[in-house]
Every structure is written in C-alpha cells, then in structure tokens.
Chains A and B, each alone.
Chain A
C-alpha cells in the first residue's frame, strides 16, 4: 500500500516544518486510529461561544457517529486562526481528533448561518404579566387554527367539558408530546366505550409550533392517533400572540431550543362554562384519571347566563 506511508510522511514533514501550531493533516476521516492512536471524525455543528483567545469554542454539534451523540461541548481549537472568520451562530463543519487523553478540532469551515440559532435568539412570544389561574377561574377565550384550516375558539365548546393540552408535531421525546396524545387517545376510547358516560365533552390538542404545524401537518399527525374517527377530538395550533396570553395563566413553559422546543406539559380540563375544573401537570397521570375528570366536569352546570352553544365541529 503506497498511499499510507506517503500520507503519513507528508503529514509528519508538515508537522516538523510548521510545528504543531497548524492542523496536522489526518490520514483518514474514519474512526480508525492512526499510527499515533488518534481517531478522527468529520463533524458539523453551530458555534455557541468563542473564547477570547480562540483556543476553545463551545459548539453544539450534531451526532458524531461512533463517538458522541448530539450535544453542546467546549472543544479545543488547534489553530486559533481557523476561527478568525467564524462568529457565534455560524454553522461549521470541522474535524474532531481524539487521543486517549486529549482532543482538538481543526479543518473548521463556515458553511452557513444556522437558522435555528437565529430563530432561537428571537423570543417566540413575550408572556403577559398576569397571575396563574386556579381551579374555578375562567380561562380567557382563545382562538386557534384547526387542522381543517378553520378558526376554533375555546368558547365554541361552551356546554361541553373540554380537555386541552399543548404539544408540537416534531416533538421527539416519547414521554412528552407522544405520551400526551396517546393518553388522549386512550381516554377518548374509555369515554366512547362507557355506556353511562356523558356525551358533552371535547378533546383539543394545541400545537405551539404554528409556523411548522400548518393544518395539513396537523391533519396528518392527528390521523396517526385518531385513526379515521375524529369524534370529539380536534387538533389545532396557537399563534404566538395567543400563547403570550395563555402560557402565563396556565404555567406553560415553551423554550426554543436547537431548532425545536423544550417545554413542560400542561393539560387542562374546563367545565361546560369554561372554568378550570382540573389541571394535570407533567406526564405522571393516567388516561383513566383524565376520563374521570371529563365525566365529573361534564356534569358541572354552566354558569348562569351562559349560552350553552354546542357548536358542531
């Protein structure tokens, strides 16, 4: 094999003439260790911080197959000059080299400006300064865009008990949004199959990612949970201005992060008059508990003077 010694020698001559201030040319882009026991990986990420001396940078990198999952790391930069044209928020490709006791990166190339970071620097919304609601408090009316592309309001469901929760369709964590929607699915099944259950109830799943969760996206997602039976279960998305009013009242936390969201889970049951009947925080509740709450809430009467307009949707 002629190439390997050629490459190694070339690399070493380079090292000897230029010292180690410059990036040594790696013999391979694979994870196989080279003669010095160095493993090298191609990587891609977004620059989050650059040290004043440019000898380290905090990089949110994608998965490095065979070495590291996607994470945010402070990495040693072999040649600070390579960061001269790079600024925070830039998307870069680079090589990561690891020996038994240290690591460094080189071959840094700016490939673009990360849209996720640009977006992450802009608030999704600024919540109103308002106290959290308690059970018994009415939830102010809110309008969403539903899976059919039509506006839907909480007040459209007066006369029914309503369970609503917040999610986004790109949510990757099985115990977050998918668990909420699976719980709604199971609770709906419980209610539909119970002969003595009231019929004045409604489920509503609200995405806080309205920019991505357009009606067609929601409709496709809904089918995965609802099958062909849309009975009393609607999917919709909330515009940021709507979230700014609802989130602080319901203690909903939505954080832009890495092109997606980090968020807490808030599931609310309203009585037929639109007042908070019960709130389920987090994910440690069961579909049976939600179904029970719906049954109890549906039997509450609407407040006096409340028009029980049971709109058909």
Chain B
C-alpha cells in the first residue's frame, strides 16, 4: 500500500471570502444568493464543461494514408483458427492486452467491455483483442480472462498464436515497437493502450487513447461517421 500523504491540504474555505460581508446578509438575501449563484454556477459549469468537451481535440489524428489490416493466422480463445477473411466486411475495434497485466491496462479492457455494451445488437462491428504475451495467454487463459469481462464469444474475439505472427500483425497494422521499451511497455509496443478502428474494407482508420475518459464516446462517434461514409451513394 502506498504511504498516506504526509501533508493533506486543509480546506482553504475562508481564504478568499470577503471577511465580514456575509455576516450582514439576511436569511432572505442568503437564500437569493444561493438560488441565483447556484443557477449561474450550474449554467457556467455546464457551458464550460460542454465547450471544453467541444474544443478538446480527438485523442489521436487519423493517419494520412490508412494502413491495411495485414493478413494473419491466429487462434481465437475458443481454439478456432482465425484469419483476416473471418473478419471481412465488418468494422473492427482492436485492442491489445496481456492477461498478466496488473494495473492500468485493465482500464483498456474495461473500455472494450463498455463498447460491447454500447454496441449491443450491432452486427456490423466486431471487437478484437490481441495478446502480446501468447505463451501465457493460451486460448484457455484468454477464455477465463474474457469471461471476467462478460465478453460475448460472437462479438468480442481474443486472439493468440505464435508470438512472431502476432508481433508481425501488430507492427504491420497498428503499432511500432522497440527493444528499449520492452521493460516499460509489454512487447515494447509504443501506445499499446490505444484502441484502433478498422473500416469494413480492412483499412486501419483511427487510433484512440484507451485510458482517456472520452474514448468510448469518440469511438462510437467515429464509427457512426464511417457508417455514413460507406452508406453514401
């Protein structure tokens, strides 16, 4: 357990309060202050929050020329052999994991679980999680892990296989890697916490920071744009 903070800041309630002024307020003035102040504040907070949200840039810009999802031969957690052909024609949301992860990367799996809930009934989307530690993450281990996130076997796939094959797919389609990063990020893959959106033609269209609070909202919005794009005449 981390040590408790030695110097917790004490509430600085009265620092900026105009001294003496509040003592002269009647109860009625006080209530009026409460009402007007509260309304103003609520409005301002809402506006501020909304504009801040509107202004915040996308988590990650789309690459100028989208990469193709490389072909692959891997195993799903069910033990079934899977290739790129099995995903053809669907939008994909791709994430990366290793089940030995103890802390922050669990948040990425939480995002995927949120997406699965938000996309209930969407037959045109498949969630795909690729392990970077395949010797540990056998189909059986991935199946146990997937159950913890209530992953639907038909909609959220967990892929493992030969490490060389997995790493080739990840490097060719999604992330760069370096040995210098290997004790900092699993596999040495920069941005391993990112989620990727792949369109129905197999082009990797956009990446999103998986730890960001608004990742799910942004992915759903981007997915909607891609649907409109492919439906346009």
Contact = CB atoms under 8 A, between A and B. Distances in A.
Interface string A18-55: 01110011111100000110000010100000011101
Most buried by B among A29, A35, A123, A173: A123
A264 B136 contact: yes
A107 B34 contact: no
Given A10-B17, A93-B5, A265 B183 contact: no
B9 A16 contact: no
A55 B22 contact: no
A126 B44 contact: no
B38 interface: yes
A257 B104 contact: yes
A42 B40 contact: no
Interface in A52-92: 52-53, 55-56, 58, 60, 62-63, 70-76
B34 A8 contact: yes
B136 A282 contact: yes
B13 A7 contact: yes
B40 A11 contact: no
B30 A9 contact: yes
A257 B52 contact: no
A258 B103 contact: yes
A123 B40 CA distance: 50
A10 B13 contact: yes
Contacts, number: 187
A53 B49 CA distance: 13
Contacts of A258: 103-104
B185 A127 contact: no
B133 A255 contact: no
B186 A262 contact: yes
B184 A12 contact: no
A32 to B, nearest CB: 13
Contact of B52 (A5, A76, A259): A76
A11 B33 contact: no
A127 B182 contact: yes
A14 B15 CA distance: 10
A173 to B, nearest CB: 6
B54 to A, nearest CB: 11
Interface string A171-215: 011001000000000000000000000000000000000000000
A142 interface: no
A12 B56 contact: no
Most buried by A among B13, B38, B180, B213: B13
Interface of B: 2, 5, 7-18, 21-23, 25, 30, 33-34, 36-38, 40-41, 44-45, 48-49, 52, 55-57, 98, 100-105, 107, 133, 135-136, 138, 140-141, 163, 179-187, 211-214
In the A-B complex, list the 9 residue pairs whose CB atoms are closest, starting with the nearest. A10-B17, A20-B44, A9-B22, A124-B183, A74-B213, A12-B37, A55-B52, A264-B100, A282-B136
14 contacts: A5-B30, A13-B21, A14-B17, A16-B40, A42-B9, A44-B5, A53-B55, A107-B9, A253-B100, A253-B187, A255-B186, A262-B102, A281-B136, A284-B141
